[in-house]
Structure 1
Amino acid sequence: MGAFKKILALSAAILLAMSLWELAQRYFILSPSYQTGKTPQDYGVRYQEAWLPIPKAEGGGLVHAWWLPAESPTAPAVLFLHGNDSTLHTDIDLILSLRRLGLAVMAIDYRGYGGGAWFLPSERSVYADARAAWQAFKKLSPQASKHLVYGHSLGGAIAMDMAAVSLGVDGVIIDGGFLSIADIAKSYTASWLPFDALIRHNFSSYSKLPAIAAPKLFIHCSGDEVVPMALGERLYQLSPQPKARLFMQGGDHDACYRRDGEVWAAWVASMAGKSDVF
């Protein structure tokens, strides 16, 4: 009986350790942020707020969305997906920069981010949130000439997952992207460490890339202090055609689009069919 109790105690300790490791990954990898602040209206930009319901099978709850319509219902439209430790409010300048290009823009806070109810997000939950947003986005912009998705940082991995399984994606823009969380961890430590086996919320895009038939634009800055440009280069090289890259010297992770705003604008506009750079 003593040996049996020891086995039970050891099993309980292992299960507890696994549960804590799972929770720690969800918290530190997804880094939910609760920052709020200015809205598009504070900048004189017309917008609508929406709360998108998520099925109970995916955990239930609501996804907070901003909808910034374009002047014309036929203008190209883009769904913006932010990264970890970010919200609609922290990324408002990038959201408004997309709107200034003449695009209709939907941007979302995943469950657990921004001013929504408390929720500890997971890889699965943010994928579900993006897919729900895509369906609402398509309904709001049925006449749009193109439907694009723009993902920044972790949002890039979410955008690639969505583009691999969702219909009607006309273009994918990945800003500060990577192939997996394990690759980022290895870039800061050693390539032989078993992060692929240890990390459950890995946001791996390796198997998804072949399914993304839409044109892809990869944006990266050499001064990116979070995701080394070498990882963005690897992502670009492994991605199937059609594809293009805008890799700029300098800049940083959170505001690479500001490194050369005119060039960034020209490439994004080209993806939207508003110029001929791409």
Structure 2
Amino acid sequence: MIWLWALLRIFLVVIVVATAAIYFFQERVIFYPYKLPADFKFNFKNPSTEKILKVGKSDIHSLYFEAKDAPGVIVYFHGNAGSLEGWGELASDFVDQTGWNIWMVDYPGYGKSTGHITSEAQLHEVADAVFAEAVKLNPGKKVVIYGRSLGSGIASSLATKTTIDGLVLETPFYNVEAMAKNIFPFVPGFLVRYKLASNESMKSIKVPVLVIHGTADEIVPFAQGKKLYDEYQGPKTFMEIQGGDHNNLDSMDKFWPAVKQFLKSI
């Protein structure tokens, strides 16, 4: 019986330590930035303009791609890993495939952006600043907010307080708490400091929404994106990509036709 109590104590200690680590080092669990030197030169097939926005104490780096006679601008929020060195390649593809302008941003600590992420509010401040600049440079044009994975939580929140023509969510999670329970079932929801609650944001949105998710997504369960879509009460389209995983949807046959059709419809 003594050994049983000893095992129980060890188990409880492990749970407490693991839970504390997840709470206090949440940024290391969620964000995986890739830093770039300040003098790094981008080389994409389409030209882009580097934009620096001052948000709080951080210099936020972004790329603006312009298409000829673009009908609108896509304000794109990328996933939790990498930098614009890689994401910019995708932005360039968006220009070719859609003919829209696209503005893509690196979060604090990512790429050439200075500082580091310290709160969810900080991410929303970055989104506000980027959106305002994108709209200012595209007067009278359509505006679509696009969120990919982590960016879906930022994008859906931004959509609640701006005037836009559409919202696209690719590989979206329901909220970070749901993701945490999926990975760490023992962690109480109240310990999750970054909520990014897309499910709550969607209750205040009325614009057309396109949700894209692969059935073989190994990071964000397909069921989370589908649940988010099912609960949305506004005009909506769901693109289920059979066999698509978390990082390959833009290479699948159904992806670009779905995006282009959505943009054409709004």
Q: State the TM-score, normalized to the length of structure 2.
A: 0.84
Displacement of 1:80: 0.9
Deviations 1:102-144 (A, max 9, x none): 0101111111111222323431111110111000000111132
The CA distance in 2 between the partners of 1:207 and 1:252, in whole Å, is: 25
1:38 and 1:254 map into 2 onto residues whose CA distance is 25
Residue of structure 2 equivalent to 1:140: 137
Contact 2:107 2:117 in 1 (8 A): no
Provide, for residues 62-104 of structure 1, a one-character-per-residue CA deviation record: whole Å limited to 9, x for no partner.
Answer: 21111111211x5221011101113212222321221112010
Determine if the alignment matches structure 1 residue 172 to structure 2 residue 167. yes
Structure 2: distance between partners of 1:109 and 1:245: 27
- List per-residue Cα deviations over 1:184-214 (Å, max 9, x = no partner): 2223454xx4532121112112321111111
State which of 173, 183, 187 in structure 1 corresponds to 2:182.
Answer: 187
The residue type equivalent to 1:169 in the other structure is I
Per-residue CA deviations over 1:221-261 (Å, capped at 9, x if unaligned) read 1121100101111111111221111011112212212122x
Question: 1:210 and 1:196 mapped to 2: Cα distance?
Answer: 21
Q: Which portions of structure 1, spanning 4 or more consecutive aligned residues, are displaced by more than 6 angstroms?
A: 17-20
Mapped pair 1:239 → 2:228 = no
Report matched runs for 1:151-166 at 5 Å: 151-166=147-162
TM-score when normalising by structure 1? 0.81
Match of 1:9 in 2: none
Once residues 230 and 28 of structure 1 are traced to their aligned partners in structure 2, the CA distance between those partners, rounded to angstroms, is 22
Question: Helix, strand or coil for the counterpart of 1:111?
Answer: coil
% same residue: 27
Q: Which residue of 2 aligns with 1:3?
A: none
For the residue of structure 2 that corresponds to 1:91, the secondary structure is: helix
Give the corresponding residue for 2:57.
Answer: 60
Q: Do the aligned partners of 1:30 and 1:122 also contact (CA within 8 Å) in 2?
A: no
1-structure distance, mates of 2:54, 2:110? 15
Take 2:191 and 2:169, find their aligned partners in 1: how far apart are those partners? 26
Distance 1:118 1:210 in 2: 32
1:198-237 matches, within 5 Å, as 198-237=191-230
C-alpha contact (below 8 Å) 2:180/2:187 kept by paired residues: no
Q: Secondary structure at the match of 1:210?
A: helix
Q: Which amino acid aligns with 2:189?
A: D
Task: Name the CA distance, whole Å, in 1 between partners of 2:83 and 2:188.
Answer: 27
Residue of structure 2 equivalent to 1:14 = none
Q: For residue 143 of structure 2, what is the amino acid of its counterpart?
A: H
> Which moves more between the two structures, 129-138 or 249-258?
249-258
1:159 CA displacement: 0.2
Pairs aligned (count): 246
Root-mean-square deviation (Å): 2.3
Secondary structure in 1 aligned to 2:62?
Answer: strand
Distance 1:44 1:98 in 2: 12
Gaps of 5+ in 2: 1-17
